[in-house]
């Protein structure tokens, strides 16, 4: 086949018998015969008329185009299939796709506006040269400057409205853990919302200013409001009042205040939570409060009916009020945390000074046609009432209190993070509860305090003042006072007891098995437990629900669902069809296998302590088996004797030094074997801090991918395990594991499209000490096989300033790889709370537009913005009568199950719950997707099928996954970055005492900017 690179084709498209449109088309492949040309573009395409003229236009490689018009419907082949057949001889450029998109648009216009054919043709003929735009991107090393008043960037964001639901797939009925909520406007036609302001009206009887103007805590606010109601029965006798625990009251009828404003003087012995007095108040004494109540809004209940069909109707304030009403009967009897309610009854004791509370989640949500109450079982760890040293012992993994050692600064930081913001009571005197605000960077023996002008140690002070001889004087004391220097109150940790009902949010490997036995249950068990929960609540006799005219159905909602067809996936040796969302690699080779030539192994699992040990012989056997399996998958292993560094060789070395030593050996082999490619790290166990240290060293210092393997995995490294490791290695080294057949992915296989995944990761173990990390990934190919990532530290919840630069870099990477400028963007976003969705969408859409302007002055691709959420409580259950083909082995709905209509769906925009994966154990969580912006005008079927089929492209396993891979990769990249967060505070003492550390994210090595290092 002869390919000519300097042709312009003039294509004549006949519409019916009479009308012709002539357009300039930068696209042509000249072959030896017309039959060859027809084969390349597909025999099913009919050419109405084609004339090819030999005119020199540059050095671009081109491809054939066919256009067919049938009954006004235009089909324009983009030439992608022909590009695949032509192979590497044809460079893939966006020029082709752009010209074809324009051609398709012109023909659409021609069909609709036949009298203006001539002007349309002229418009296309004189359009900007997209080949030149590509050339500009080619040398785009710095972003273009964007004007602050650019109208495109600052234009308002049009949120999409629901235009329909999907229809593809087979239908079925499921149950959901939602109960229909009905409103009776004859009992309550409106809800009155009042703003409530509570102030301390006078000093306490014991003297001293109470609170000093600080905000009052929720338990105190609730008690004061309750006392106000009881002390003013003449006002509230016939009116039930619901308090949200903050600054809002809700009533079913108006309160009898003149001008809707009332000021009440209340005497209360309310305390600052946990049954203790506020500062400056003697136990049992009362204070006076001023409670000001002002009417803020009257929420009409009948607005719900209009909201089901009109997206412009705002109902969130009403839904918020209904949620407060539904929870009112539980206030005071259950522990509230993160919106969930927990019971102290039958709490299960755990390791590390913690207990497991069982509770429930309940949320009123607006469905398509009715309100529903989402009800679910939840479990959460809380700190148990007991010694603070128990928390510290668990944080350091010590056998007992005497084994706790806080030596260097790093360990001091670990201690500070473990106890920060814990509420404690001291045992050496009767006192109120106090909050730990910091930790000393010295022991109790060395931490000095000023007493009557004399400087003495904390150890000596407690011996002299309280006659207490410390058992652990070498441990640092905690600060229960102010954060400013000189305002500290140092107390030995052994004299502190943790107050109950404080939620635990750190990492917890020691209790995982115990929690799983309670929380991980089969779907049928969970469904029955939720139903029993509903019955126990006795909503029918709830006085609050009666007063506000609410009733809750007794049985779960039945919802209509569909099961989408699973896609086929291409491996190097053929097409395969997964069954129930899983497959294996037996007899399969990767689509594009990598070459493994310069790599090494680091064994840091050779200690003789309690952690597992890996011998050199076991490591050698593993390497030999890995090389054999890699070759079976198509990977070219040209070096089967990698450099091996063992911690036994340098027992006093650090993890960083072992990795660096291995990298140095790879550098010495650069000339015969090429650049260093990979270091496989064999770890003793899944210690999170060690993992983060490995990723920090590899990603920021050495700049090559790493693959971690634990001793347990190595011990069971059978064929399937080795094959899964090869999946990750091939992806990290630039290979492609799988592809989709042509036409599988809507939009992506039709026109140049980029997929973007954005997530914000909040470190779980530091109680807010470390900042959140923004992670953004982007696809590089049209099969969703290859991705790159960019990372940044956020300064606040509404910080979008970092995003345009990250997006600009990702678009440049996409162009370098695909040689195409995306005409379409599908942007998946996770990690957004319901209350912030619209703000985030508008902020990040403006960031996207700014990034487009940084690429080119006229670059305006169309964006579809989809918000994904897995942190919800909607569950889908196969009913008792459901067939075996409706459930997977774990009893959950099969992969591809989707719900986008009925009481679960948003009535105002396209929202669907998708089961993208097959459950392994427990009750699976469907991912909730909401299409917020859709400039690409995707149908419901297109949006749903694209999202579901992407779940089969995840590079790290042979299973479909629960969430779209762009988001999965963003989460993985953020986890890699956690170890790269560095504390840059220069004052270690103040850092450990006031936690005001400043963090920066160590930069990702330039060598990994275009690599799937996170795979």
Q: Which two tokens stand for residue 299?
A: 């929420």
Nearest of 308, 295, 331 to residue 191 by alpha carbon: 295
pLDDT of residue 113: 39
**d(C-alpha 294, C-alpha 192), whole Å:** 10
3-state secondary structure of 943: helix
In whole angstroms, what is the distance from residue 229 CA to residue 319 CA?
A: 24
381 in Cβ contact with 355 (< 8 Å): yes
Say if residue 895's pLDDT is above 80.
Answer: yes
Backbone angles phi, psi at 301, to 5 degrees: -70, -35
pLDDT digits over 82-104, tens only?
Answer: 334 333 323 333 334 344 444 44
Whether 60 has a pLDDT exceeding 60, the answer reads no
Q: In the prediction, which pLDDT does 514 show? A: 87
Q: Return the axis-axis angle of helices 117-125 and 94-112, rounded to nearest 10°.
A: 170
pLDDT of residue 611 exceeding 80, the answer is no
The more confident residue out of 269 and 171 is 171
Tell me the pTM. Answer: 0.82
Contact 358, 342 (CB under 8 A): yes
Range in 186-195, 202-211, 234-243, 263-272 the model is least confident about? 202-211
**Cβ contacts of 726-729, under 8 Å, gap ≥ 24:** 726/585, 726/626, 726/629, 726/630, 726/633, 726/635, 727/585, 727/955, 727/956, 727/957, 727/958, 728/955, 728/956, 728/1015, 729/594, 729/596, 729/630, 729/635, 729/678
What topology is assigned to 753-872+922-1002 in CATH? Nucleotidyltransferase; domain 5 (3.30.420)
* Cβ contact 478:388 at 8 Å: yes
Contact by Cβ (8 Å): 478, 489: no
pLDDT digits (tens, 9 = 90+) for 427-478: 998 877 899 999 999 999 999 999 988 999 999 999 999 999 999 999 999 9
| Residue 629, φ and ψ in degrees, nearest 5 | -70, -40
pLDDT bracket for residue 388 (50, 70, 90): very high
Each residue of 7-29: pLDDT tens digit? 233 333 333 333 333 333 333 33
**Packing angle between helix 803-818 and helix 837-855, nearest 10 degrees?**
50
Q: Residue 217's pLDDT band (boundaries 50, 70, 90)?
A: confident
**How far apart (Å, rounded) are the C-alpha atoms in residues 407 and 384?**
27
Q: Does domain 302-384+502-556 have CATH number 3.40.630?
A: no
Q: Kindly list the domain boundaries of the chain, sorted by start residue.
A: 8-138, 184-300, 302-384+502-556, 386-499, 593-732, 753-872+922-1002
Read off the pLDDT of each residue in 630-644 and give the average, rounded to a whole number: 96
Calpha distance 330→317 (Å, rounded): 21
Confidence category of residue 42, pLDDT binned at 50, 70, 90:
very low
| DSSP notation for 603-660 | E----SSSS----HHHHHHHHHHHHHHHHHTT-EE--SS-EEEETTTSTT--HHHHHH
Q: How far is CA 456 from CA 220, 446, 487, 490, in A?
A: 38, 9, 16, 12
Closest CA relative to residue 26, chosen from 79, 89, 81, 105? 79
Q: Look at residue 216 in the predicted model and tell me its pLDDT.
A: 77
Q: Please compute, for residue 950, the number of CA atoms within 13 A of its CA located in the half-sphere on the CB side.
A: 31
Mean pLDDT, range 573-589, rounded to an integer: 94
Q: Give the pLDDT of residue 181.
A: 97
Q: 258 pLDDT exceeds 80?
A: yes
Q: Is the pLDDT of residue 404 over 60?
A: yes
Cα-Cα-Cα-Cα torsion 500, 504, 510, 514, nearest 10 degrees, comes to 70
Strands 502-503 and 371-383: antiparallel
The CA distance from 489 to 443, in Å, is 14
CB 391 within 8 A of CB 420: no
Q: 769 vs 539, which has greater pLDDT?
A: 539
Nearest to 584 by CA among 569, 594, 595: 569
Span 239-244, mean pLDDT? 94
- List the structure tokens of 204: 């306490």
What is the per-residue pLDDT for 689? 81
Conformation bin of residue 243: beta by default, left when phi > 0, alpha when psi is -120 to 50? beta
pLDDT of residue 203: 53
- The whole-angstrom separation of Cα 230 and Cα 135 is 76
Strands (DSSP E) along 507-589, which ranges?
550-552, 557-563, 569-571, 574-576
Lookup: tokens for 364? 């009123």
Instruction: Measure the CA–CA gap between 931 and 938, rounded to whole angstroms.
Output: 10
Can you read off the two tokens belonging to residue 359? Answer: 């509770």
593-732 topology per CATH: Rossmann fold (3.40.50)
- Residue 118 reports pLDDT greater than 50: no
| Mean pLDDT to the nearest integer, 300-328 | 92
Return the structure tokens found at 627.
């090389």
Look at residue 400 in the predicted model and tell me its pLDDT.
85
**Sheet of 496-498, strand order:** 386-387, 496-498, 423-426, 434-435
> Are 822 and 814 in contact, with CB atoms under 8 Å apart?
yes
**DSSP line for 229-248:** HHTTHHHHTT---EE-SSSE
* CATH, range 386-499: 2.170.260.10
| CA 366 centroid distance within chain | 24
Q: Percent of the chain at pLDDT above 90? A: 61
d(CA 496, CA 369): 54
Residue-wise pLDDT tens digits, 510-547:
788 888 888 899 999 999 999 999 999 999 999 999 99
Contact 892, 546 (CB under 8 A): no
Average pLDDT, the chain: 82
- Integer CA distances (angstroms), 176 to 66, 235, 902, in order: 48, 42, 11
Q: Measured between alpha carbons, how far is residue 877 from residues 331, 376, 412 in Å?
A: 30, 13, 48
The values of phi and psi at residue 374, to 5°, are -85, 120
CA distances to 220, 404, 602, 622, 691 from 395, in Å: 32, 9, 27, 33, 17
The arithmetic mean of pLDDT across residues 153-163, rounded, is: 93
Model pLDDT, residue 861: 98
- In terms of Cβ atoms closer than 10 Å to its own Cβ (0-12, 13-18, 19+), residue 958 is buried
Is residue 610 scored above 90 in pLDDT? no
pLDDT, average across residues 867-881: 92
Give residue 390's Cα distance to chain centre. 32
**Confidence category of residue 284, pLDDT binned at 50, 70, 90:** low
Distance CA 896, CA 898 (A): 6
Q: Position of tokens 């995003």?
A: 803
Instruction: Give the pLDDT mean for 985-994.
Output: 37
- Please give, one letter per residue, the 3-state secondary structure of 326-385: HHHHHCCCCEEECCEEEEEEEEEEECCCEEEEEEEEEEEEECCCCEEEEEEEEEEEEECC
Number of H helices, E strands in the chain: 27, 47
Cβ atoms 395, 414 nearer than 8 A: yes
Dihedral angle over CA of 182, 188, 193, 194, nearest 10: -140
**Three-state SS letters, 472-523:** CCCCCCEECCCCCCCCCCEECHHHEEECCCEECCCCCCCCHHHHHHHHCCCH
Measured between alpha carbons, how far is 284 from 270 in angstroms, rounded to an integer? 9
Distances (CA, A) of 465 to 416, 446, 451, 460, 950: 26, 17, 11, 8, 68
Task: Using pLDDT thresholds of 50, 70 and 90, give the confidence band for residue 769.
Answer: low
Average pLDDT over residues 488-494: 95
The neighbouring-strand residues paired with 380 are 357
**pLDDT score of 745:** 96
pLDDT band at 403 (very low <50, low <70, confident <90, very high): confident
């Amino acid at each position: 086949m002869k390919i000519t690179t300097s042709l312009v084709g003039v294509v004549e498209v006949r519409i019916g018998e009479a009308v012709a449109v002539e357009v300039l088309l930068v696209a042509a492949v000249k072959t030896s015969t017309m039959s060859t040309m027809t084969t390349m573009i597909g025999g099913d395409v009919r050419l109405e008329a084609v004339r090819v003229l030999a005119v020199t236009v540059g050095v671009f490689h081109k491809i054939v185009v066919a256009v067919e018009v049938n009954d006004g419907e235009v089909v324009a082949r983009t030439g992608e299939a022909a590009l695949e057949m032509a192979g590497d001889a044809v460079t893939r450029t966006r020029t082709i796709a752009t010209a074809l998109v324009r051609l398709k648009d012109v023909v659409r216009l021609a069909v609709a506006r036949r009298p203006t054919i001539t002007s349309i043709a002229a418009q296309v003929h004189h359009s900007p040269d997209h080949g030149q735009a590509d050339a500009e991107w080619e040398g785009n090393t710095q972003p273009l400057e964007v004007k602050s008043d650019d109208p495109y960037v600052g234009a308002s964001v049009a949120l999409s409205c629901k235009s329909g639901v999907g229809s593809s797939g087979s239908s079925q009925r499921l149950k959901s853990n939602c109960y229909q909520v009905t409103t009776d406007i004859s009992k309550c036609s409106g809800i009155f919302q009042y703003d409530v302001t509570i102030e301390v009206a006078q000093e306490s009887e014991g003297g001293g200013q109470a609170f000093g103007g600080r905000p009052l805590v929720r338990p105190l606010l609730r008690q004061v409001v309750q006392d106000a109601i009881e002390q003013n029965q003449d006002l509230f006798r016939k009116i039930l009042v619901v308090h949200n625990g903050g600054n809002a009251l809700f009533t079913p009828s108006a309160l009898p205040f003149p001008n809707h404003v009332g000021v009440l003087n209340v005497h209360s012995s309310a305390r600052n939570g946990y049954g203790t007095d506020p500062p400056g108040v003697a136990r049992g004494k009362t204070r006076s409060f001023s409670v000001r109540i002002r009417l803020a809004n009257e929420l009409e209940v009948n607005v719900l009916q209009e909201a089901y069909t009109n997206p412009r109707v705002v109902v969130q304030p009403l839904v918020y009020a209904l949620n407060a009403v539904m929870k009112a009967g539980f206030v005071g009897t259950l522990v509230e945390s993160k919106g969930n309610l927990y019971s102290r009854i039958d709490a299960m004791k755990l390791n590390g000074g913690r207990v497991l509370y069982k509770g429930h989640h309940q949320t009123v949500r607006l469905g398509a046609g009715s309100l529903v109450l989402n009800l679910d079982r939840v479990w959460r760890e809380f700190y148990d009432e007991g010694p603070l040293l128990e928390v510290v012992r668990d944080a350091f993994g010590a056998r007992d209190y005497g084994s706790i050692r806080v030596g260097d600064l790093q360990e001091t930081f670990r201690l500070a993070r473990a106890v920060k913001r814990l509420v404690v009571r001291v045992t050496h005197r009767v006192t109120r509860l106090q909050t730990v605000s910091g930790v000393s960077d010295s022991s109790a023996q060395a931490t000095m305090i000023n007493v009557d002008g004399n400087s003495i140690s904390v150890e000596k002070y407690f011996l002299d003042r309280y006659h207490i001889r410390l058992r652990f004087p070498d441990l640092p004391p905690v600060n229960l006072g102010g954060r400013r220097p000189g305002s500290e109150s140092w107390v030995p940790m052994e004299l502190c007891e943790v107050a109950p009902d404080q939620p635990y949010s750190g990492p917890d490997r020691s209790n995982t098995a115990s929690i799983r036995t309670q929380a991980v249950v089969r779907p049928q068990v969970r469904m029955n437990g939720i139903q029993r929960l509903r019955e126990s609540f006795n909503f029918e006799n709830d006085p609050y629900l009666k007063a506000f005219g609410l009733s809750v159905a007794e049985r779960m909602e039945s919802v209509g669902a569909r099961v989408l067809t699973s896609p086929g996936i291409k491996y190097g040796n053929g097409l395969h069809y997964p069954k129930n969302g899983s497959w294996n690699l037996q007899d399969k080779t990767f689509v594009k296998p990598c070459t493994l030539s310069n790599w090494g192994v680091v064994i840091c699992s050779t200690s003789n302590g309690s952690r597992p040990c890996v011998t050199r012989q076991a490591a050698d056997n593993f390497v030999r088996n890995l090389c054999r399996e890699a070759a079976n998958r198509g990977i070219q292993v040209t070096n089967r004797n990698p450099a091996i560094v063992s911690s036994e060789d340098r027992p006093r070395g650090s993890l960083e030094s072992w990795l660096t030593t291995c990298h140095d050996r790879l550098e010495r082999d650069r000339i015969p074997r090429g650049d260093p490619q990979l270091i496989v790290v064999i770890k003793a166990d899944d210690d999170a801090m060690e993992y983060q240290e490995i990723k920090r060293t590899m990603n920021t210092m050495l700049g090559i991918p790493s693959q971690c393997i634990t001793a347990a995995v190595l011990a069971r490294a059978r064929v399937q395990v080795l094959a899964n490791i090869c999946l990750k290695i091939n992806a990290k080294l630039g290979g492609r594991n799988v592809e989709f057949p042509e036409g599988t992915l809507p939009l992506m296989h039709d026109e140049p499209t980029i997929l973007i995944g954005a997530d914000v990761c909040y470190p779980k173990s530091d109680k807010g000490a470390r900042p959140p990390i923004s992670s953004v990934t982007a696809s590089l190919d049209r099969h969703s096989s290859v991705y790159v990532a960019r990372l940044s530290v956020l300064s606040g919840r509404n910080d979008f300033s970092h995003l345009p630069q990250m997006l600009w870099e990702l678009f440049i990477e996409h162009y370098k790889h695909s040689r195409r400028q995306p005409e379409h963007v599908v942007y998946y976003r996770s990690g957004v709370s319901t209350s912030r969705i619209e703000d985030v969408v508008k902020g990040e859409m403006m960031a996207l537009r700014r990034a487009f302007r940084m690429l080119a002055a006229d670059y305006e691709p169309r964006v579809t913005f989809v918000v994904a959420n897995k942190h919800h409580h909607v569950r889908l259950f196969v009913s008792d009568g459901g067939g075996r083909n409706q459930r997977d082995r774990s009893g959950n709905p099969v992969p591809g199950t989707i719900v986008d209509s009925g009481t679960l769906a948003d009535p105002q925009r396209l929202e669907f719950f998708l089961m993208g994966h097959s459950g392994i154990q427990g009750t699976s969580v469907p991912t909730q997707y909401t299409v917020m912006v859709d400039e690409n005008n995707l149908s419901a079927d297109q949006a749903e099928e694209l999202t579901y089929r992407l779940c089969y492209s995840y590079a790290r396993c042979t299973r479909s996954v629960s969430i779209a891979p762009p988001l999965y990769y963003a989460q993985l990249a953020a986890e890699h970055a956690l170890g790269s967060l560095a504390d840059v505070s220069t004052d270690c003492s103040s850092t450990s005492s006031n936690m005001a550390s400043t963090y920066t994210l160590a930069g990702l090595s330039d060598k990994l900017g275009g690599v799937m290092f996170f795979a």
